[in-house]
C-alpha cells in the first residue's frame, strides 16, 4: 500500500531535511541557566513578533497553558473558560491538579464566547464564593472546528475581563492559522491579552515545542513554574532551531493547508450531504458529522484504505490538514470517505 494519508492531527508533521540540518547545526548551551543562544534568540523573536516584552520556550502547549494558569491564579480561584476549550477537555484536569482552581465553563458558538456571558460568569471577590481571576480564550478553537475568533468579539471578551480585574490568557496553539485565515497580525490578538501560548509542533511543522509570551514579570514567574513542572531542559537549542526554521519557512504556507481543508470538506459534503458545510471551514480542521453512522466503522474503513482520521466518539470525525498532506492525499481521502460511506 502507498504511504498513509495522515489526517488525525497536524501534530503528526515530521521535520523536513532542511529543518533537520538546522537542528544539527544549532549552537547550544544550558537553557536552565539561560545560556542556550539558539533558545534565547528564538524567545526574543517570538516576543518581538507578538509585541510583548518576553517569551519562554516550553516543551508542550499543555505545559504552556497550565504554567500560565498557575502564574495568574491562587488556589481556590475560579477561571472562566469556554466549555469545550482544550484546557477543559484535553489537559487531564490540569487546572485542578496543578493550580487547585475551579473552572467555570461558558457556552460558545463554535468555541467563541459572548462577552455578556463572560461578564455574567465572572464573580467578584466575596467571602461566600470563589473569586474569578482569569479568563481563558482559545484561537483557533480546536473542538469548534478550527474556528477563528472575530477580532471584535475577541476584544469584547478581553475588555469585560479586564474591567472586572481578571487577567486574560490566550491558548493560541494555532494562532498563526487564525492570522493567515483572517489577515490579522498575531500582534493584534496579543495586544488584547496579558499572555498567550502558541505551538511550533502543529501546523508549523517543528517536532517539539511551544512558546509562552507575555510581560517580563509574567515570564520570570513562568520560568519558575516550568522548572517545577519538569520543563527545564538543557541543550534544547537543537529543538529551538527547528522552531526557528518553522518561523522562517512555514507560516505563510499555512494557507495551503486551509485550501486543502476546504477541498476535503467539499468532497466529504458531496459524499455525505449534511455532514459538513464547507463554508464553515476557515483553517485546517474539518469536523465531519456522520449523521448517526458508527464513527469507528467509518474510520476503520478509511484506515483500511490508507487514510488515518480521528473518531471523536460522538458519531463525528476530525480531519486536520498539514504540510505532510498534499492535494493528491486530499483527493485520495475523499475517494476513501465516499467508499466508506457507501459501505457503512
User: HEC string of the chain?
Assistant: CCCCEECCCHHHCCCCHHHHHHHHCCCCCCHHHCCCHHHHHHHHHHHHHHCCCEEEEECCHHHHHHHHHHHHCCCCCEEEEECCCHHHHCCCCHHHHHHCCEEEEECCECCECCHHHHHHHCCCCCCCCCCEEEEEEECCECCCCCECCCHHHHHHHHHHHHHCCCEEEEECCCHHHHHHHHCCCHHHHHCCCCEEEEECCCCCCCCCCEEEEECHHHHHHHHHHHHHCCCCCCCCHHHHHHHHHHHHHCCCCHHHHHHHHHHHHHHHHHHCCCCCCHHHCCCCEEEEECCCCCHHHHHHHHHHCCEECEECCCCEEEEECCCCCCHHHHHHHHHHHHHHHHHC
Residue ranges of domains in the chain: 17-249, 253-343
Whose grid coordinates read 505563510? Answer: 252
C-alpha cell at 153: 468579539
Q: Which CATH architecture has domain 17-249?
A: 3-Layer(aba) Sandwich (3.40)
Cell, residue 24: 544539527
The confidence score (pLDDT) of residue 1 equals 42
Nearest CA among 117, 57, 48 for reference residue 81: 117
Task: For helices 175-182 and 254-271, give the axis angle rounded to 10 degrees.
Answer: 80
Query: pTM to 2 decimals?
Result: 0.93
Calpha distance 235→238 (Å, rounded): 7
Is 121 in contact with 134 (CB distance < 8 Å)?
no
CATH 1.10.3210.10 correct for 253-343: no
Pair type for strands 54-58 and 78-82: unpaired
Q: Which of 186, 174, 161 is nearest to 80 (CA)?
A: 161
**Nine-digit cell at 327?**
492535494
Q: Contact, 60 vs 210, CB < 8 A?
A: yes
Q: Please tell me whether the peptide bond between 251 and the residue prior to it is cis, using omega within 30 degrees of 0.
A: no
Amino acid 130: pLDDT: 84
User: Around Cβ 98, how many Cβ atoms within 10 Å?
Assistant: 18
The one-digit pLDDT tens for each residue of the chain (344 residues) are 458 999 999 999 999 999 999 999 999 999 999 999 999 999 999 999 999 999 999 999 999 999 999 999 999 999 999 999 999 999 999 999 999 999 999 999 999 999 999 999 999 888 888 899 999 999 999 999 999 999 999 999 999 999 999 999 999 999 999 999 999 999 999 999 999 999 999 999 999 999 999 999 999 999 999 999 999 999 999 999 999 999 999 999 999 999 999 999 999 999 999 999 999 999 999 999 999 888 899 999 999 999 999 998 788 999 999 999 999 999 999 999 999 998 87
CB 291 within 8 A of CB 156: no
pLDDT value, residue 33:
94
Cα separation, 191 vs 189, whole angstroms = 5
- Max distance between CA atoms of the chain, in angstroms, equals 65
| Exposed / middle / buried, residue 265 (Cβ in 10 Å: 0-12, 13-18, 19+) | buried
Which of 112, 95, 92 lies closest to 104 in space, CA to CA? 95
pLDDT at 222: 98
Q: From residue 44, give the alpha-carbon distance in Å to each of 35, 41, 85, 229.
A: 13, 5, 29, 23
Cα angle value 37/42/43 (rounded, 5°): 100
Q: Phi/psi of residue 317, each to 5°?
A: -120, 150
Amino acid at each position: 500500500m502507498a504511504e498513509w494519508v495522515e489526517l488525525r492531527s497536524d501534530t503528526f508533521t515530521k521535520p523536513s531535511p532542511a529543518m533537520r540540518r538546522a537542528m544539527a547545526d544549532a549552537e547550544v548551551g544550558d537553557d536552565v541557566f539561560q545560556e542556550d543562544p539558539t533558545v534565547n534568540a528564538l524567545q526574543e523573536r517570538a516576543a518581538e513578533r507578538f509585541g510583548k516584552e518576553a517569551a519562554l520556550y516550553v516543551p508542550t502547549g499543555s505545559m504552556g497553558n497550565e504554567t500560565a494558569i498557575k502564574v495568574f491564579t491562587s488556589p481556590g480561584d475560579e477561571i472562566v473558560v469556554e466549555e469545550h476549550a482544550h484546557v477543559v477537555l484535553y489537559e487531564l484536569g490540569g487546572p485542578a491538579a496543578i493550580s487547585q482552581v475551579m473552572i467555570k465553563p461558558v457556552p460558545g458558538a463554535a468555541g467563541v464566547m459572548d462577552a455578556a456571558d463572560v461578564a455574567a460568569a465572572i464573580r467578584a471577590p466575596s467571602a461566600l464564593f470563589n473569586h474569578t481571576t482569569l479568563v481563558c480564550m482559545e484561537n483557533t478553537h480546536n473542538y469548534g472546528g478550527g474556528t477563528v475568533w472575530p477580532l471584535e468579539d475577541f476584544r469584547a471578551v478581553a475588555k469585560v475581563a479586564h474591567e472586572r480585574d481578571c487577567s486574560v490568557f490566550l491558548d493560541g496553539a494555532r494562532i498563526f492559522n487564525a492570522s493567515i485565515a483572517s489577515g490579522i497580525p498575531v500582534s493584534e490578538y496579543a495586544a488584547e491579552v496579558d499572555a498567550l501560548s502558541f505551538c511550533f509542533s502543529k501546523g508549523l511543522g517543528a517536532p517539539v515545542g511551544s512558546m509562552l509570551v507575555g510581560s517580563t514579570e509574567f515570564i520570570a514567574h513562568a520560568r519558575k513554574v516550568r522548572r517545577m513542572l519538569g520543563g527545564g531542559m538543557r541543550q534544547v537549542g537543537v529543538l529551538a532551531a527547528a522552531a526557528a526554521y518553522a518561523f522562517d519557512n512555514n507560516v505563510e504556507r499555512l494557507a495551503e493547508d486551509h485550501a486543502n481543508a476546504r477541498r476535503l470538506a467539499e468532497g466529504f459534503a458531496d459524499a455525505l450531504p449534511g455532514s459538513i458545510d464547507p463554508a464553515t471551514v476557515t483553517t485546517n480542521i474539518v469536523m465531519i458529522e456522520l449523521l448517526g453512522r458508527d464513527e469507528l466503522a467509518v474510520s476503520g474503513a478509511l484506515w483500511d484504505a490508507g487514510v488515518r482520521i480521528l473518531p471523536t466518539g460522538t458519531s463525528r470525525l476530525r480531519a486536520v490538514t498539514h504540510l505532510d498532506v498534499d492535494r493528491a492525499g486530499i483527493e485520495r481521502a475523499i475517494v476513501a470517505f465516499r467508499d466508506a460511506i457507501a459501505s457503512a
